[in-house]
Amino acid sequence: MRECAFCFTTKNLTKEHIISNWVNGLFVGENTVNFRDSRGRAWEKGGGKIDWQARVVCRTCNNGWMSTIESQLAKPVLTPLIRGDVGIPITLEVARAIAVFAFKTAVIVDHVQRPGNPWFPRELRSAFREDQSISDAIQIWICGVYGRRRAIDFHGGYFSGVLASSGNLYQSYVCTVAIGHLAFQVHSGKQSGIRKQIAPLPTYDESAVSIWPWVHDGTIWPRSE
């Protein structure tokens, strides 16, 4: 039976916008949403309005704390980034607002892909519902996106392999979302059942900025090399 991704009730499940309805005001004319998962399945939806919804949260969560996140955190902070504005200081407060929106989106996309078998443990999702806390084991980056036609791109992937350094099984979930000129990537890894961070390739820092669990003091968006 389906349950709310955050409070686990099975009652009054309602459709949640994967990408918030306010984003429509930032795009004019024809828009497309592209989704691709780790199995290679892909679909693209066109139209004048971005309206992708999934029944994965309850009415109380959707109309309560989640609505507050959108209006008080996400919309004011993400709007200039999505538009491609420049010279934006990525303070701790801005980084946290982006991280909260990104983690919420990653949980929703995960539930769309794996209903009944979500990646994120219940305790992480419950803590996020209570006070929007995010585990330090979660890693989130942002980068700029230019020269493309689609308004929205999604990629949710699940990966596993054996680490050469330890011989332990390593599993990870990576959710990458691009909205306008902003892209964010959420990474969650588990090594032998223990949540663990990994270090990206050195070249990754040339194009992406870490915003969670830490952000460099004095970061200005977009990066200038």
Between 195 and 108, the higher pLDDT residue: 108
* pLDDT(206) > 90: no
Q: Can you tell me the distance from the alpha carbon of 96 to that of 99, in angstroms, rounded to the nearest whole number?
A: 5
DSSP string, 106-161: HHHHHHHHSTTS-SS-HHHHHHHHHH----TT-EEEEEE--S---SEEEEEEEEEE
pLDDT of residue 96: 96
Q: What integer is the mean pLDDT of 30-47?
A: 63
- pTM score > 0.85 for this model? yes
Q: What is the model's pLDDT at position 8?
A: 96
Mean pLDDT of 21-33: 73
74 or 31, which is more confident: 74
pLDDT band, residue 124 (cuts 50/70/90):
very high
Model confidence at 107, pLDDT cuts 50, 70, 90, reads very high
User: Is there a contact between 175 and 111 (Cβ–Cβ < 8 Å)?
Assistant: no
Contacts of 205 (CB under 8 A, 6+ apart): none
Write down the mean pLDDT value for the chain.
84
Q: Residue 32 is encoded by which pair of tokens?
A: 């497309």
Segment among 30-44, 50-64, 141-155 with least mean pLDDT: 30-44
